[in-house]
Amino acid sequence: MGRLFGTDGVRGVANADLTAELALDLAVAAAHVLVERSGDARPTVVVGRDTRASGEFLEATVVAGLASAGVDVVRLGVVPTPAVAHLTTVWGAAAGVMISASHNPMPDNGIKFFDAGGFKLADAVEDEIEAHLRQPWSRPTGAAVGRVRTAHDAVARYVAHLVGTLPASLHGLRVVVDCAHGAAYDAAPDALRAAGAEVVAIAAEPDGLNINAGVGSTHPERLVEAVRAHGADAGVALDGDADRCIAVAADGRIIDGDEILAVLALALHEQGRLARGTVVTTVMTNLGFHRAMAAHGIEVVETAVGDRYVLEAMRAGGYLLGGEQSGHVVFLDHATTGDGSLTALQLMSRVAATGRPLAELVAVMSRLPQVLVNVRVADKTAAMGASGLAAAKAAVERQLGDNGRVLVRPSGTEPVVRVMVEAPTEQEAQQAADRLAAALAD
């Protein structure tokens, strides 16, 4: 049996892979590990979820499992993932639990854990939870069982925290925010309005079934239309659990995480606030980003794909800014995980402070054409060893030389192998990506 935890918690099709029974067992196992590690016989855990219908029964089973194991639970209801991380720390909880599959389709769901510091659990701790799964245990009774309460002010507290990170008002900016019918459907618009912006909210009417459905950071087309229709200065799109952000300029151009990170890195560098003059990114980061940072004397530390690896490098090196092309951006002086709403506020703050359009700010980086092909496979390990893949990859790399890059990697959350190619032209990148995808299918 493979490892239960992936790169971002436990995920699967809700009620098929991720069942109520598994959620209950995970919660009980996590409770036992937390008690052992904290030394607190009666720890508190906060639990949040996104807007998926399946989150309702999974929340109920996670809360039941924790309380049955003698852990007190604070239910946050529907909140963004970074809100769980933030409130875990400010309330002094032993851990936080978020029930979400992030940008995945609605039928999927997931469970991710945060430690007392608001950081995602280390692999060793996740392995410890797995080892405790379905082990015999003594059930508390009477007053020893955990108690459950609901925090009705969770969103308001989180919004206040977000707005408190800004040095100046967003007054005068009109911003469209695509909430993906997800966890930040109220928090993100509230935060932008509280910061002074005029806000147009779209995809902010969750019904349990429409999360990420043709909207959000993975489908910014509707946001592009809305920005143009409302004559907005910019638009921002979040994903289902609001830990990532993609932007749209006034002219409709889509701004990815690399470009957002470039703008924010340069802003902090100018202000003397970029710790060690370094920003942390992943192997997916566009070559144009590296060139832009080098031109301004900023060092780049590169990690494996996944915001947890970005965070690990940031904490190890004492860096304060890092992120991914997908839109996960981490401001370690304000948050312990990627935060789409925080990213949107900081980006709009830079627009307001400079008086320059977003399109002009991102022009600091010349993005190489990049093509990403997701090849769905039955077995990721077998696919990576497919006959001819190594030879095809070597041939493409020889052809591109220093003018492009190739990356082939298995997804950590889905049954796909991702093929990424950067090249001088879109056509060259697409042809090379198609060639590699065909080799994977052999």
94-134, pLDDT tens digit by residue?
Answer: 999 999 999 999 999 999 999 999 999 988 999 999 999 99
Helix (H) or strand (E) holding 329: strand 329-331
The arrangement of strands across the sheet holding 95-99 comes to 10-13, 108-114, 95-99, 44-49, 72-78, 148-150
88, 107, 232: which is closest to 170 by C-alpha? 232
pLDDT attached to residue 333: 95
Rounded Cα gap, residues 97 and 63, in angstroms: 10
Rounded Cα gap, residues 279 and 276, in angstroms: 9
pLDDT attached to residue 437: 87
DSSP 63: H
350-366, pLDDT tens digit by residue?
Answer: 999 999 999 999 999 99
pLDDT attached to residue 3: 84
Helix (H) or strand (E) holding 393: helix 389-400
pLDDT attached to residue 442: 65
Give the torsion sign (CA, 32, 33, 38, 44).
Answer: negative
pLDDT at 316 over 70: yes
pLDDT attached to residue 2: 65
Q: Return the structure tokens found at 76.
A: 């946050």
Helix axes 287-295, 257-270, angle to 10 degrees: 10
Surface-to-core class of residue 399, CB atoms within 10 Å of its CB (0-12 exposed, 13-18 middle, 19+ buried): middle
pLDDT attached to residue 306: 83
Rounded Cα gap, residues 234 and 226, in angstroms: 10
Helix (H, G, I), strand (E, B) or coil at 149: strand
Higher pLDDT, 275 or 386: 275
**Segment 62-84 mean pLDDT:** 98
pLDDT at 414 over 80: no
> Is the pTM of the predicted complex or chain greater than 0.85?
yes
pLDDT at 260 over 90: yes
**Segment 167-181 mean pLDDT:** 96
Q: How confident is the model at residue 209 (pLDDT cuts 50, 70, 90)?
A: very high
Q: To the nearest whole percent, how much of the chain has pLDDT over 70?
A: 99
**Segment 363-370 mean pLDDT:** 92
pLDDT attached to residue 391: 87
pLDDT at 275 over 60: yes
Tell me which residues are annotated as active site. Answer: 102
51, 430, 43: which is closest to 211 by C-alpha? 51
Rounded Cα gap, residues 359 and 396, in angstroms: 32
pLDDT attached to residue 413: 66
Report all structural domains of the chain as residue ranges with CATH numbers, in order of start: 10-152 (3.40.120.10), 157-362 (3.40.120.10), 370-441 (3.30.310.50)
Residue 356's CB is within 10 A of a number of other CB atoms, namely 12
pLDDT at 408 over 60: yes
Contact status, residue 210 vs residue 154, Cβ threshold 8 Å: no
Q: How confident is the model at residue 303 (pLDDT cuts 50, 70, 90)?
A: very high
**Segment 164-181 mean pLDDT:** 96
Rounded Cα gap, residues 172 and 412, in angstroms: 41
**Segment 297-320 mean pLDDT:** 94
